[in-house]
Amino acid sequence: MTACGGSTPAPAAGTRAYPATGLVLLSLNDGKYRASASIGTDPVAVIVSGDGATAYLADSSPGDVYAVRLADLSVAWKRHVGGAPFGLLLHAGRLFVSLFSGAAVVELDPITGSKLAAHAVPKGPAALTVDFSGRVVAAGTGGTVDRMDGTTSAAGNGFGIALIGDTLWTADYERAELVPVGGRRVGLPLPVFPFWLSPGSNDTLLIAAEGPSEDSDPGGVFSYDPVSRSFATFALPRDPDQVIHSGATVYVAAHGDREVLAIRNGHPAAWAPGAAAVAIAADNALGLMVVAVNAHE
């Protein structure tokens, strides 16, 4: 394996040959190992193009963004953007990247990596999504959501954001609450701290929350139904960094437990034990689970 990527052979049965930082590919159906590559030094986020051909990786401390071809894990391009890239979003033919320490969101050409535009936002922009009107918005650690047209709305002071129906949901990390933009706060069912939000099935909200001691205490993975105002608890892994829904399965990057959880019909299965999963993306076109690993995070 090299710093610029390249596929590695599958490990022998019973071994755990995963890179300290980079990408791991698993079968989306059963979690079987497909390939891995060492890419970057501090990956924190990954997304996949609509056609499944490319993964985009945010490498925080060096300030780089990678485009990686799937499924051979070769690097198509690398772009230095600085500012600790955090959130990634593909929208309207552009790759949006939030710069957590740069108080900005930049737009890149997803084919070439060329910088197309930059938007100043309040400090600490984190995860990105699109609101009900199609505008790109960033979660803010200053208690706002920030749109690329310069407008803001009061929200939770946290990293996560998700659109459920026509409502933007945010997380207040320190207060252990969910905060819908324009709505009433909702406390979590356990004293854990919401980090990642994403859409679940049937207009539910998925939440990955960290424990008081991120690496050693149990966190929680929940589903929240805004209509019934009820929670379901899926799992209590250590340091769950991301949760997503694909098909009939909820997947969790359980960083503290060094694995990916695949939860089907309420039953969690541990995939890729030993992999320091920090972010995940489902590649339905190629039938792959793309896992960003970071043993240093």
Q: What's the pLDDT tens digit per position in 49-90?
A: 999 999 999 999 999 999 999 989 999 999 999 999 999 999
Over residues 206-255, the pLDDT tens digits come to: 999 999 988 889 999 999 999 999 999 999 999 999 999 999 999 999 99
pLDDT of 291 strictly over 60: yes
Residue type, 178: L
The residue among 226, 168, 218 whose CA lies nearest residue 190 is 218
Over residues 104-155, the pLDDT tens digits come to: 999 999 999 999 999 999 999 999 999 999 999 999 999 999 999 999 999 9
Over residues 8-48, the pLDDT tens digits come to: 444 444 556 799 999 999 999 999 999 999 999 999 999 99
pLDDT average, residue stretch 188-216: 95
At 171 the pLDDT is: 96
pTM metric for this prediction: 0.94
- Structural domains of the chain sorted by starting position, each given as residue range(s) with its CATH number in brackets: 21-294 (2.130.10.10)
